[in-house]
C-alpha cells in the first residue's frame, strides 16, 4: 500500500481579489503519476509554485512526507524537483556546462558531480548534444534539457508545469517514455496540462482545477464511469431549425446540458430514469424536430471536463 508523499490541506493563495487557489486539498501517493488539469488561469501554476516552495500560501498546509514545507522549505527543496513551463536559455553555454552549473548549485563537487551530470545526460538522451549551445536546441531538446535540470540531485517528487506544451508528436512520445521510466524508478510525478488526452495516457489519476477550486479528483477509470452517467447524443437539425431544437431540448426534462457545437450539431444528455425510456424520448425528439442526423456519442476526456464544468455552472445557477 503506497503512502502519501505529499498532502495538501485547505490551501489558499490570493492576489488582491483573485483567489488563485481557493481552499484546495489533495494528496499524492508515492510512485504515482498524477495529472493536474485546468483551463488557462485555473490556478495550476500558482499551486505548483506553492508545492515547490517558490511561493508561500495565505493559509493551509503542505506536508512532504509528513513535514510542513512552509515551515521547513530548505529540507523539502532538495527532494522536490521543479520543471517550470518556461525556459530562458542563457547565451554561450553548452548543454554540459549548463547542467554542470546547476549540479554545482546543488552542492555537488568533484567526481560525484561528474557522475551525476553524465548520468543525467545519458538518461535524457543529451550526450550527443553536450557541446551544443543551449539556445540552439529544438523545442523537444530544450524540454529534455529542462527535465535534465529538474533531475539534478535525484529528487523523489517531480512537479512539472505543462512539460508537453508545444512539442510535436514525436517529441511528446519521447517525453512520455521518459516519464514512464521515471515512474518505474519510483519517482512521484505531478504534471500539469490543459490538454486532457495528453495526460490521460500517462497518469494514474487526475485532478481537475477550475477557478482556483478542485472540481474532480480520481482515477482515469473513475472519470470514464463518471462520463458514462448520462447517455449523450449528437443531433444535427436543419440550420433553420437549430434554435427550435435547442429550445425543445432545454425545456424537455428528458434532456439536459443541451449545448450547440461550432459544427452546427447539438450535444445533449438523456436524463430518463431508465434506458427503457430512451426509445420513446428519441421518437418524440424526431417527431417534433427536423433532424438530419441523430447519433449516440461517447464523450472523450476533454468533453467530460466540459460537461463537468457545465454541471457545476448549472448547479450554481440553481442555488
Ligand atoms: P495557465 O494554464 O494559463 O498557466 P494556470 O492554471 O497556471 O494558467 P495561474 O497562473 O496559477 O493559472 O493563475 C491563476 C490566477 O491567478 C489567474 O487569474 C492569474 O491571473 C492570477 N495570478 C497568478 N499569479 C499572479 C500574480 N503574481 N499576481 C497577480 N495575479 C496572479
Nearest Cα residue to atom 1 of ligand 1: 40
Mutate to test the pocket of ligand 1, among 42, 49, 54, 86 (most ligand atoms within 8 A of CB): 42
43 ligand 1 Cβ < 6 A: yes
Position 276 scores a pLDDT of: 85
Residue 86: pLDDT band (50, 70, 90) is: confident
With contact defined as beta carbons under 8 Å apart, do 8 and 60 qualify?
yes
Position 226 scores a pLDDT of: 60
| Higher local confidence (pLDDT), 69 or 194 | 69
pLDDT of 69 higher than 50? yes
pLDDT of 130 higher than 70? yes
38 ligand 1 Cβ < 6 A: yes
With contact defined as beta carbons under 8 Å apart, do 295 and 234 qualify?
yes
Position 18 scores a pLDDT of: 93
Residue 282: pLDDT band (50, 70, 90) is: very high
Q: Which of 165, 178, 104 is nearest to 139 (CA)?
A: 165
193 ligand 1 Cβ < 6 A: no
C-alpha dihedral sign at 221, 227, 229, 233:
negative
The residue-averaged pLDDT of 290-301 equals 84
263-279 residue pLDDT tens? 899 989 888 777 788 89
The CA-atom distances, in angstroms, between 177 and each of 165, 217, 293 are 16, 24, 41
Position 317 scores a pLDDT of: 52
Please state, as a whole number, how many other Cβ atoms lie within 10 Å of the Cβ of residue 244. Answer: 14
The residue-averaged pLDDT of 46-73 equals 94
Grid coordinates of 110: 568533484
Position 164 scores a pLDDT of: 84
pLDDT of 172 higher than 90? no
User: Rounded to the nearest whole angstrom, what is the distance from the C-alpha of residue 18 to the centroid of ligand 1?
Assistant: 9
Residue 319: pLDDT band (50, 70, 90) is: very low
pLDDT of 5 higher than 90? yes
Please identify which residue in the block is written with the cell numbers 447524443.
Answer: 233
First to last CA, the chain: 40
The residue-averaged pLDDT of 103-131 equals 94
Position 223 scores a pLDDT of: 67
20 ligand 1 Cβ < 6 A: yes
Q: What span, in angstroms and rounded, lies between the C-alpha atoms of 145 and 46?
A: 23
What's the order of all strands across the beta sheet hosting 59-64? 18-29, 4-15, 59-64, 67-68
144 ligand 1 Cβ < 6 A: no
Q: What span, in angstroms and rounded, lies between the C-alpha atoms of 165 and 36?
A: 14
The residue-averaged pLDDT of 144-152 equals 94
Position 96 scores a pLDDT of: 97
| Most distant pair of Cα atoms in the chain: their distance | 80
Residue 51: pLDDT band (50, 70, 90) is: very high
Mutate to test the pocket of ligand 1, among 11, 12, 18, 208 (most ligand atoms within 8 A of CB): 18
pLDDT of 61 higher than 50? yes
223-257 residue pLDDT tens? 666 655 668 899 999 999 999 999 999 998 889 88
User: Rounded to the nearest whole angstrom, what is the distance from the C-alpha of residue 276 to the centroid of ligand 1?
Assistant: 47
Nearest atom in ligand 1 to the alpha carbon of residue 212 is 14
With contact defined as beta carbons under 8 Å apart, do 208 and 216 qualify?
yes
Residue 309: pLDDT band (50, 70, 90) is: low
Average pLDDT, the chain: 88
Q: Which of 41, 36, 32, 35 is nearest to 5 (CA)?
A: 32
Q: What span, in angstroms and rounded, lies between the C-alpha atoms of 227 and 62?
A: 31
The residue-averaged pLDDT of 10-32 equals 95
pTM score, two decimals?
Answer: 0.78
Helix-helix angle 139-151:110-123, to 10 degrees: 140
Amino acid at each position: 500500500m503506497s503512502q502519501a508523499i505529499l498532502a495538501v490541506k485547505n490551501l489558499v493563495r490570493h492576489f488582491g481579489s483573485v483567489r488563485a487557489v481557493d481552499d484546495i486539498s489533495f494528496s499524492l501517493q508515492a510512485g504515482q503519476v498524477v495529472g493536474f488539469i485546468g483551463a488557462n488561469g485555473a490556478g495550476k501554476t500558482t499551486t505548483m509554485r506553492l508545492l515547490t516552495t517558490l511561493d508561500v500560501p495565505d493559509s493551509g498546509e503542505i506536508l512532504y512526507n509528513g513535514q510542513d514545507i512552509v515551515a521547513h522549505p530548505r529540507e523539502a527543496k532538495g527532494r522536490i524537483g521543479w520543471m517550470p513551463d518556461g525556459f530562458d536559455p542563457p547565451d554561450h553555454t553548452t548543454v554540459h556546462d549548463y547542467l554542470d552549473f546547476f549540479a554545482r548549485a546543488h552542492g555537488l563537487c568533484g567526481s560525484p558531480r561528474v557522475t551525476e551530470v553524465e548520468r543525467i545526460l545519458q538518461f535524457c538522451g543529451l550526450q550527443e548534444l553536450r557541446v551544443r549551445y543551449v539556445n540552439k536546441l529544438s523545442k523537444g531538446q530544450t524540454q529534455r534539457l529542462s527535465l535534465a535540470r529538474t533531475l539534478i540531485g535525484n529528487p523523489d517528487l517531480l512537479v512539472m508545469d505543462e512539460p508537453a506544451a508545444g512539442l510535436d508528436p514525436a517529441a511528446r512520445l519521447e517525453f512520455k517514455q521518459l516519464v514512464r521510466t521515471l515512474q518505474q524508478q519510483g519517482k512521484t510525478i505531478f504534471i500539469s496540462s490543459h490538454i486532457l488526452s495528453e495526460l490521460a495516457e500517462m497518469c494514474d489519476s487526475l485532478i481537475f482545477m477550475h477557478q482556483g477550486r478542485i472540481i474532480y479528483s480520481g482515477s482515469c477509470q473513475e472519470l470514464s464511469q463518471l462520463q458514462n452517467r448520462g447517455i449523450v447524443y449528437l443531433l444535427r437539425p436543419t440550420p433553420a431549425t437549430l434554435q427550435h431544437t435547442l429550445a425543445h431540448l432545454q425545456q424537455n426534462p428528458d434532456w439536459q446540458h443541451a449545448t450547440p457545437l461550432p459544427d452546427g450539431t447539438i450535444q445533449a444528455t438523456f436524463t430518463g430514469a431508465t434506458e427503457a425510456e430512451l426509445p420513446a424520448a428519441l421518437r418524440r425528439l424526431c417527431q417534433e424536430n427536423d433532424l438530419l442526423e441523430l447519433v449516440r456519442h461517447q464523450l472523450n476526456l476533454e468533453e467530460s471536463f466540459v460537461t463537468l464544468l457545465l454541471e457545476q455552472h448549472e448547479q450554481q445557477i440553481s442555488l
